[in-house]
Amino acid sequence: MAALYTPTILDHCANPRNFGTLDPYSVSHEDENSLCGDRIRVDLRISGDAIDAIRFSGTGCAISIAASSILSEIVDGRHLSDIATLTADDLLAELGITLTSSRLACALLGLNVIHAAIASHSRHLVTVA
């Protein structure tokens, strides 16, 4: 069996944590891997300078969904400044798998979306009541 598809990855793919949307949300951001069609949206509810709630949605390969699921558990309740310093290497260490260059983008899509969401929040974009 592929070394990529560990029980953890398969579990997070079949039962993604924090999957869904938030209403209301403080900020929402969406992005895709145009090469393969992975598309992840992240909704954040921010209280003070910490994430109060996170949901992610979208479609994509097992790696992108599982990585987003694992990431959502990591960032829930964390300070925005902590999350901003969360690196690709940190996430890959959490995933516990070795990725080829073509699958790295899948794993990092959720992280990129969360970073972009936090960045746009800090630029004071419109909040949805």
Partner 1 sequence: MTATVPTTTLDAVALRSQFLILSQTHNGFPITYLDSAASSQKPQAVIDAIRDYYERDNANVHRGVYSLSERATDAFEHARASVARFLGVADSSQIIFTRNTSESINIVAQSWGRSFLRPGDIIVTTVMEHHSNIVPWQIVARETGARLEYIGVTDNGYLKLDDLDRHLASGRVRLVACCHVSNMTGTINPIDQIIARAHDAGALALVDGAQAAPHFPVDLTTLDPDFYALSGHKMCAPMGIGVLYGRRELLESMPPFLTGGSMIRQVGLHESTWAPLPDKFEAGTPDVAGAIGLGAACDYLQQIGLDAIHAHEAALTTYAWQQLSSMPNLTTYGPPPVDRGGVIAFNLAGIHPHDVGSILDQDAVCVRAGHHCTQPLHARFGISASTRASFYLYNTEEDVDRLIRAIRTTLRVFGKAV
How many beta carbons lie within 10 A of that of residue 114, not counting itself?
Answer: 26
Of 6 and 120, nearer to partner 1 (C-beta) is: 6
The position carrying tokens 């070394």 is: 3
Tokens of 39: 């598309």
Of 37 and 77, nearer to partner 1 (C-beta) is: 37
Instruction: Give alpha helix (H) positions in the chain.
Output: 7-14, 62-75, 80-84, 88-95, 101-122
In the complex, least distance from residue 111 CB atom to partner 1, rounded to whole angstroms: 17
In the complex, least distance from residue 37 CB atom to partner 1, rounded to whole angstroms: 3
The position carrying tokens 């798998």 is: 97
Of 61 and 74, nearer to partner 1 (C-beta) is: 61
Tokens of 100: 């080829």
Of 59 and 122, nearer to partner 1 (C-beta) is: 59
Interacting residue ranges for partner 1, rule: CB under 8 A: 1-5, 10, 14, 35-39, 59-63, 103, 106
In the complex, least distance from residue 102 CB atom to partner 1, rounded to whole angstroms: 8
Terminal-to-terminal C-alpha distance of the chain: 47
